[in-house]
Amino acid sequence: MSQVDEVASAWERIVGWLRRNAPASAEALRPGASDEEIARLDAALGFDIPDVLEVWLRLNNGSTAKDSEKPIPGGGTALLPHRDSLVLPGGMRFLGCKEIAHRHAEYLYIARDIGDDEYWKSPWIAVMEQSDAPYGIILDAQNPSGPPPLLRFSEGDYPTSFLPSLGDFLRPLSDLLETGQAPGSVMAHERFTVAEGRLRWRE
């Protein structure tokens, strides 16, 4: 199975499980990204996103459908993530095209501002993030010879290697949701509950 097919298959299993077991969380998933949204994201990043990310976004354009924004005094807006957005382990939400582009620009600006090219590189794409702090997962698009690996990032630290591919994250997650276990994988120790139709990850 190709990496693209693996990502699509695993995510479809996850979405199916959410719809059957945690419908309130499933409602946080946006419809798939359009050609225009993908094109705008490519333009904002300055390169075409990897196929594995494109197929994921075309299935669902993030888990931010219930998020909202409020104006900030002096201009701009602040994002107010909804608790149902946190469909991924670690209390993370799946970022859509708009959020990915915004985070990419923000982190590159910080890298330039502090004069540290190692803080954030242009091919790094934040695809999952906690709602209350800059902690999450990067898809590293600078690997032209194979599937883009995942990096883990956190405030104040340089990103570090996490998993060989996006499929290595989503496949065991689908196993965990369907069977309650994913031995030998990054999900082996993750635990969750469902209450009132909502998925909640235990810390």
Residue 144 has pLDDT above 70, yes or no: no
What pLDDT score does 155 carry?
A: 78
Q: Which CATH superfamily is domain 3-201 in?
A: SMI1/KNR4-like (3.40.1580.10)
- Residue 25: pLDDT over 90: yes
Model confidence, pTM: 0.93
pLDDT value of residue 145:
74
Least confident of 35-49, 102-116, 174-188: 102-116
pLDDT digit string, tens, across residues 155-189: 778 999 999 999 999 999 999 999 999 999 999 99
pLDDT of residue 134: 81
Where are the chain's structural domains? Answer: 3-201
Give the chain's mean pLDDT: 93
Q: How many CB atoms lie within 10 A of CB 196?
A: 8
Query: Do the beta carbons of residue 93 and residue 66 sit within 8 Å?
Result: no
- E-strand stretches of 72-123: 77-80, 92-94
CB-based burial, 77-114: b 16+ in 10 Å, e otherwise: eeeebbebbbbbbebbbbbbbbbbbebbeebbeebeee
Contact 97, 57 (CB under 8 A): yes
